[in-house]
Structure 1
Amino acid sequence: MAKTGIGDRAGEVFAALAAAGQATRPQLAVACGLSKPTVSLVMAELEAAGLAERSGSSAGATGRTAAVYRLGPRAGYVLAVDRGSTQVALRATGLDGELLDEDHTSRPASAAAMVQAALGRGGARGPLRAVVVAVSEVVSPPGRGDPATMARVRDVVAALGLPDGAAVRTENNVNCAAIAELAEGAGTDHDSFVYLQVGVAIGAGVVIGRRLVRGASGAAGEVARLAYPWADDRSPAPEALEARLGSRALLRRARGRWAGRPDPAPKTAAALFALAEKGDPVALEIVGEHAEAVGNLAASLCAVVDPGLVVLGGGVGRNRLLLPGVVATVDRLSWPTEVVVSELGARATVLGAAHLARERGIGAVVAEG
């Protein structure tokens, strides 16, 4: 990767320009707390390095015009990959957040070819500055993780065929979704919230003081490990709560209730919710019970972190039929907490990974100075 060789002040101004997308020198001077002459010198340095370029001019209130700058051809780009078990999505953006490419596949085996195609198209925007890969595993700091888990994460990344030497970071997929909610979703105006994902698996991303909480081992929010069931006659088992709240158990309960009916039991959670939406009494009963169970989990999280907001996501969690029951249960068991459905949908994870990648890409350019 080419070195930029810019100074500290140039790095600061570059970061401000990347955050703004485009700006004039007076605007950058205000953003960075620097004098206008200093910013003029810095912009000349950034232009010479190919990290900034003029994109036009802007007329001020006095009628004077000011040059407008944007990132230059050597600023580069970043890549985010959501490597799910059944779906893979990617998103390439400039360091200013401009969308350059996005793609997805339902065949994980073809993910490497999809990534290679995106890298080929992105090369016209300069060097690849950072890659973030979202995985379903716990991502632990060095020396804290389970060796088998770490090996699975390495295998997932290796299978993508990323360039040698690329700055690659892995992050848990639910944590990525929480970051997306913080940056552009329901959590934008909240200092603290919990993103609760309910689908085939369950998980939570915890944001406190506008910062993601990862925990000592990177396992904060791994609610599948909550002690369940907690009863005198039954001992808790690892991930028993996930076995109760995951979509497989939901469909298993549906099959048990369908005995004696002439129509086949729903084979997917989406089919079950579709029947409930049409007013099928059995489907409505099952959805109501599941909503209460998810509400119990949400209330437990509220008891620990008092987030003020719970955002429901995941293939099951973001179904709006679930919301009233979750809200009622949280209201009954916890203090006032807003509960909403994610508006980012299935894209939340890749959007959050893209935000992380962009942050790291800007940092990489600044650090090269």
Structure 2
Amino acid sequence: MGLSSSAQQVFLGLAARGKATRPQLSADCGLSKPTVSGAVSELEAVEFVERYGAVRGTIGRSAVVYRLGPAAGYVLAVDHGSTQVSYRAVTLDGRLLDEGHTDVPAEAGAMVRAALRRRSRTGPLRAVVVAVPDVVTPEGGRGDPVVDERTRAAVDGLGLPAGAAVLIENNVNCAAIAELREGVAGSRDTFVYLQVGVGIGAGVVVNGQLVRGVNGAAGELARLAYPWTDERPAGHEALEARLGSPGLLRRMWTKWSTGDGPPPDDAVALFALAGQGHPLAADLVREHAQEVGKVAASLTAVLDPGLVVLGGGVGANPLLTGGVVATLAGLSWPTEVVVGRLGDRATVLGAAQLARDLGVRRAVVAL
């Protein structure tokens, strides 16, 4: 389009703020009010910006409020798990346009294609981020990741438009980004997001930046050498086999007897029994919390993050927190431990944040 550099600056400022008056954009962008007025006019002419009401100031004057317009486009975030798929379509300034969920991954493609059809008049699709439970190894830049064939087939099965800018990212990394920008991390720019559920993994944020590693495998706790004893050699992903919820249930079955009553079917039911005071269930949960606490201590020994955010189907359970805190306190230096605020929505919310980042960059290029 060939718009001015000041128009690009104003567009970036409005994408970050969501909605703003010209004086607010002038302060945010460090531009004079006449320059901002000219930039806004440029952006309005191509529908990258639109008027969105007005506000009255303290001296009685009213100021026009602007937000991104339809030509700015939107982005799509997909959390493609092994047992569920959810998506969010949002504008580049974060307004929710559409969302959906299915517990049948085979239906994900139809769900996403229907969502894209509904958005056909929204504006251009600027970017898509797909979160997957897999290591994503960068190759040839962020736009050309390497994933295994199963993951690639799952992403291809979504039926995304040809030519769409698609970024594949690890699901735990996405959840960490969500907790950084709109969750419990708040003003903390260094922390570890520790997800405990069917598997176990971590998202590492240092100085506000996600640490991915050369192989894209930073935080892949399943690969820690476990068990580390003289009697037993470390096994491939043995730590995840023990600390994932299937491992917790296997340990339960070795200890459960008829005198303990009907056995729980899953980890959720086991934690519910523990919360009701069931002795064996409480012991199993306490032991599990201590094991997770040891992992947290290992992370703090390397990173000293100051904050560990617990997430995942098991990690977010309040019964786990006390044991993690106590174990970590006994093995490491002071580290705050909190449960994530965003729950099972963290991954898709983080994917949406990353999609917005990419979408804004592509929209600026279009200007």
TM-score range, shorter chain: over 0.9
1:79-136: per-residue Cα shift (whole Å, max 9, x none)?
0000000010101111111111111000000001110121122222211111000001
* Residue number in structure 2 paired with 1:63: 60
Q: Choose the corresponding residue for 1:344, options 332, 342, 345.
A: 342
> Which residues of structure 1 form unaligned runs of 5+?
none
What is the DSSP-based 3-state SS (H/G/I as helix, E as strand, rest coil) of the residue aligned with 1:322?
helix
Q: Residues 206 and 258 from structure 1, CA distance in 2 versus in 1: closer, same or farther, beyond 3 angstroms?
A: same
Residues 85-104 of structure 1: matches in 2 within 5 Å? Answer: 85-104=82-101
Q: Is the 8 A contact 2:139 2:146 kept in 1?
A: no
Distance across 1 between alignment mates of 2:152 and 2:252: 37
Paired amino acid for 1:165: G
1:202-227: per-residue Cα shift (whole Å, max 9, x none)?
10000111111111111100011011
What is the DSSP-based 3-state SS (H/G/I as helix, E as strand, rest coil) of the residue aligned with 1:123?
coil
1:222-256: per-residue Cα shift (whole Å, max 9, x none)?
01101111111221111010011010010011111
Distance across 2 between alignment mates of 1:31 and 1:39: 11
Distance across 2 between alignment mates of 1:347 and 1:181: 10
Q: Is the 8 A contact 1:75 1:125 kept in 2?
A: no
* Residue number in structure 2 paired with 1:23: 20
* Residue number in structure 1 paired with 2:38: 41
Q: Residues 30 and 326 from structure 1, CA distance in 2 versus in 1: closer, same or farther, beyond 3 angstroms?
A: same
Q: Choose the corresponding residue for 1:74, options 71, 74, 88.
A: 71
Q: Is the 8 A contact 2:88 2:98 kept in 1?
A: yes
- Worse overlay, 7-16 or 42-51: 7-16
TM-score, length basis structure 1: 0.96
Distance across 2 between alignment mates of 1:277 and 1:86: 26
Q: How many residues align?
A: 365
* Residue number in structure 2 paired with 1:248: 246
Q: Is the 8 A contact 1:134 1:350 kept in 2?
A: yes
* Residue number in structure 1 paired with 2:220: 222
* Residue number in structure 2 paired with 1:193: 191
1:155-203: per-residue Cα shift (whole Å, max 9, x none)?
1210100111111101000000000000111112212110000111110
Distance across 2 between alignment mates of 1:301 and 1:144: 28
1:304-355: per-residue Cα shift (whole Å, max 9, x none)?
0001010111111111111111100000001000111112111000000011
* Residue number in structure 2 paired with 1:6: 3
Q: Percent identity?
A: 63
Distance across 1 between alignment mates of 2:260 and 2:27: 70
* Residue number in structure 2 paired with 1:260: 258
Q: Is the 8 A contact 2:222 2:237 kept in 1?
A: yes
RMSD over equivalenced CA pairs, Å: 1.6
Q: Is the 8 A contact 1:144 1:217 kept in 2?
A: no
> Which residues of structure 2 form unaligned runs of 5+?
none
TM-score, length basis structure 2: 0.96
Paired amino acid for 2:105: P
Q: Choose the corresponding residue for 2:314, options 294, 316, 321.
A: 316
The Cα shift of 1:143 comes to: 6.0
The Cα shift of 1:149 comes to: 3.6
